Every structure is written in C-alpha cells, then in structure tokens.
Amino acid sequence: MLYDVIKLEMHVTHTCNLTCKYCSHYCDYGYHGDIDFDTGARWLSDWSQRVNPSRFSILGGEPLLHKDIKKYIIHVANCFPKAARDLTTNGLLLSKHEDILPLLIETGTLLRLSIHPLQTRKQVELVERALLLAHKWETKGLRLVTPEFSSWTAYYHGEGKNIYPAQNERPDIVYNACRQHECTNLHQGHLWMCPLIAYLPMIADKLNNKSAWEHYLSYRPLSIDCSDAELKQFFEGPHDYSFCAMCAMVEKDVPGIMPENICADIKNEYLQLLRNKDGELSSLKIENTKLKECVDNMPDLLSELQLTAGSLDGLIHWAGMNNINSHSIRPGELARWLHETRDDLERMTQQLAKLSAHTS
Ligand code: SF4
Ligand code: SF4
C-alpha cells in the first residue's frame, strides 16, 4: 500500500554554518556530520515504496554543505515525482552553488530561502546576494519562496546545557498547535514525528539534566518493516501525545541581523500573494508580528508601493483578530482576506509590476 501523507522531510546533514538559538535541529549545540548519499538514497528508495507525500523538503543543517546535494535533489525527484519538492537553505552558500539552480528548475524543485538572524555584515551580504541571484533565476523558471518571516519558537525551557522539558499538561493541545507536527522526519532510516524528537538523542549527552528527558528520549520511530496498520496509525492516530509534553513553544527573540534586503521579501510576498490569488496559496506564509515590524521600519517601501494604511493594517488587524500571532496564515483564511481586499490588491499588482520592472 502506498500511503498518502502530507509532508516528509529529510535533513541530509547535521552541520550548519549558522548556530541559531532554538534551531529545531539543535544545530546551536554544535554537532556535525552528513548522511552519506548511498545510505540516504537507500532510505529514500525504501520509503518511496511505502508513502506518497504531498510535500518533500530537503534540509539540514545547511543542505548546501553536503557534497552530494545535487545527487540528493535528483534522487528525491525520482523517488517522489508527484510531491511538491523543495530545498530549504539559509542562502549563505547559494552564490557558490550557482550550478544547482538549473538543476532545481530541471527537477521542478522549489528553492525555499529561509531567513535567520545573522551574525556578521558579511553574512548579510551573502544572503542579499543569494536573494538577488534567486530572483534572477526566478525569471528563468526557478520556483522560489523567499524568506519567511520566521518567528522563533523555543520548544523547551532554559538554554544551552540547562534546557528542560516543559512537562505540559495538555500535550494534545500543544501537538495540534505545533507547526512541526506535520514535519515527519526521515532519519536513521526511520520515520520520526518531528525534528525536535528525531534529533534530541544527538544532544542528550550534552545536557546537564538528561534524566528529565528520559521519556522523550524513549521515543520509538517507525521502521520500514512496519505493517500497513502501523503506518496508518503513525499518520492518522490515535497518537501518543505524551512526547509533546516536552514542548513549551514560547516565542523568543533571537539576537542577530536581519538582512536589509528583507524589504524585497515583502515585495515578493505580495507579488506571490497576487500571483496566486486564484490558485495555490499553500506556500505563502506571512507572520503578522514580523510583517508589522518590517513595515514599521520601512516607510520608504510603503511609500514606494503606495500601500494604504487600510490594506496592510487590514491584514495585520485581521490576523490579530483571528489570533494569528505565531502561526502562518492558512490558505483558506488568506483566500478570504484576499477576497475582501481585492480592490486594494488589484491596484497593488500594477504598482508592484512597475516596481518589479524597475528593479530587475
Ligand atoms: S540556519 Fe537553520 S539549520 Fe542552521 S542553525 Fe539556523 S535554524 Fe538551524
Ligand atoms: S514534540 Fe510535538 S509539540 Fe514538540 S515540536 Fe514535536 S510535534 Fe511539536
């Protein structure tokens, strides 16, 4: 039986060139290592005989650090041809991997640039260069999602070696509110419910309070030898929510520099929003708090786009009213907002098209 699932992801490397606090792969704990291609390819081939994901993400760590990343992109496309596939990168190395862009176009793999707080001006320059490059390739057919306005979530309490699980009393609620719960991870040849659970064992020995994590470290992933019934239960439930008790999911600020070119992201988010308004909206994410923060800091962009207070504030207000503080606006909700603000958006389309022509 080929089982339909929403999303599958594989972290092809544990190494990253950033150490963002609260990284869901725990890269801020400084462990390294790649999944060698032959091993990873075998896992992928095996699971392609069992599951049919609608989305497949290749990430890490930083996937562009993997020497065989191109082989992975091709293999994932062969294994999961029907999935919306993406390569998610922090962008720092993109300008050194220009040869990867034609491959993304050829295999129909979407490039997802995720913005993280950066530590140096040099890093900012690299990400800005990556954005420009990606936009250039977009005109040649690259499917691109520019940086999301990530809010940073601490899934546990404390910091560094002194983290401890939240011991949440309603893990079912935490699970349902959690953005990671659809991020089934292919790791060590098995399926894990989310990256936080999958990679926890890799940092366990570094934790001062390891005994508090005992239950969460006892998680048993799904093996490729599972029965069809076990596979169905893994995705459909009933779930064992007890592992989600570890998560506090508290929004946190992470120190660092956000690339100034992020104004281009707003432009692009709107362009995407407009392009997609009658079609697929699932890749679009706007965080209202971050959006407001960016907008407050960018009067120039606002005047350039001649956005009315109503159009943007409307979105922010609407998001607030709908209690969307830390979660992405969902496609259906966004579609409703689009419908309600169609006139403003029509006008903005024309302005953005002009702006786009001007900047390209
Ligand atoms: S760039 Fe991504 S993978 Fe790397 S440390 Fe930051 S959040 Fe983690
Ligand atoms: S353990 Fe549960 S709540 Fe925590 S990140 Fe994973 S899916 Fe989300």
Q: Are residues 33 and 177 in the same domain?
A: yes
Q: Are residues 269 and 249 in the same domain?
A: no
Q: Are residues 247 and 321 in the same domain?
A: no
Of the residues 24, 25, 92, which should be mutated to test ligand 1's pocket, given the most ligand atoms within 8 Å of the CB? 25
pLDDT of 176 reads 83
Cα atoms in the Cβ-side hemisphere of radius 13 Å centred on 355? 21
Contact (Cβ atoms closer than 8 angstroms) between residue 284 and residue 334? yes
Sheet holding 51-59, edge to edge: 144-145, 110-113, 84-89, 51-59, 3-11, 184-187, 190-192
Q: Are residues 190 and 150 in the same domain?
A: yes
Q: Are residues 309 and 173 in the same domain?
A: no
Pick the closest to residue 105 from 128, 85, 91, 90 (CA basis). 85
pLDDT of 27 reads 92
Of the residues 169, 193, 218, which should be mutated to test ligand 2's pocket, given the most ligand atoms within 8 Å of the CB? 193
What residue numbers bound the domain in which 59 lies? 3-253
Q: Are residues 220 and 298 in the same domain?
A: no
CA distance 152 to 34: 25
Ligand nearest to C-alpha 63: 1
**Which of 253, 272, 300 is the last residue before a domain boundary?**
253
Pocket lined around ligand 2, Cβ cut-off 6 Å:
155, 174-175, 178, 180-181, 193-194, 196-197, 243-244, 246-247
For 264, the token pair is: 């281009």
For 106, the token pair is: 């050829």
CA distance 334 to 324: 11
Q: Are residues 10 and 134 in the same domain?
A: yes
Q: What are phi and psi of 339, to 5 degrees?
A: -60, -45
Pocket lined around ligand 1, Cβ cut-off 6 Å:
16, 18-20, 23, 25, 27, 60-62, 90, 116
Q: Are residues 39 and 128 in the same domain?
A: yes
Q: Are residues 311 and 241 in the same domain?
A: no
Helix, strand, coil percentages (3-state) for the chain, rounded to 5, are 50, 15, 35
* Total number of domains in the chain: 2
Q: Are residues 233 and 192 in the same domain?
A: yes
Mapping DSSP onto H, E and C, the string for 214-266 reads HHHHCCCCECCCCCHHHHHHHHHCCCCHHHHHHCCCEEECCCCECCCCHHHHH
Contact (Cβ atoms closer than 8 angstroms) between residue 340 and residue 308? no
pLDDT of 192 reads 98
Q: Is the dihedral of CA 328, 23, 215, 238 positive or negative?
A: positive
For 326, the token pair is: 């830390």
* Average pLDDT along the chain, 360 residues, taken 10 residues at a time: 92 93 89 96 98 94 97 98 94 92 94 82 82 81 70 82 91 85 95 97 94 96 97 93 89 64 49 45 38 45 38 46 38 43 50 46
Structure pTM?
0.74
Neighbours of 44 (CB within 10 A): 22
Q: Are residues 248 and 302 in the same domain?
A: no
